[in-house]
Amino acid sequence: MYQYILAIHIIFVVCWMAGLFYMVRLFIYHTEAQEKPEPARTILSEQFEIMERKLWWIITTPSMYLVLAAGITMLCLVPAWLQMPWMHIKLTFVAGLIAYHFICQHKMNQMRKGIYKWTSTQLRLWNELATLILFAIVFLVVLKNSLNWIFGVVGIIAFSIVLMMAVKIYKRFREK
CB neighbour list of residue 20: distance below 8 Å, 6 or more residues apart? 60, 100, 101, 104, 130
The pLDDT of residue 4 is above 90: yes
Q: Please tell me the predicted confidence (pLDDT) of residue 164.
A: 78
Q: Please tell me the predicted confidence (pLDDT) of residue 146.
A: 60
Q: Please, are residues 62 and 84 in contact by the beta-carbon 8 Å criterion?
A: no
| Per-residue pLDDT tens over the stretch 28-48 | 999 999 999 999 999 999 999
Question: 52: pLDDT confidence band, cut at 50, 70 and 90?
Answer: very high
Annotated binding site for heme: 9, 90
- Full DSSP string of 19-64: HHHHHHHHHHHHHHHTTSPTTHHHHHHHHHHHHHHHIIIIIIHHHH
**Domain boundaries, given as residue ranges, for the chain:** 1-175
Rg (the chain; Cα; Å): 18
The crossing angle, in degrees rounded to 10, of helices 2-33 and 85-112 is: 30
Annotated binding site: 9, 90
Q: Please tell me the predicted confidence (pLDDT) of residue 27.
A: 98
| Per-residue pLDDT tens over the stretch 106-164 | 999 999 999 999 999 899 989 989 988 998 888 888 888 665 666 766 777 787 788 77
The pLDDT of residue 170 is above 90: no
CB neighbour list of residue 21: distance below 8 Å, 6 or more residues apart? 127, 130, 131
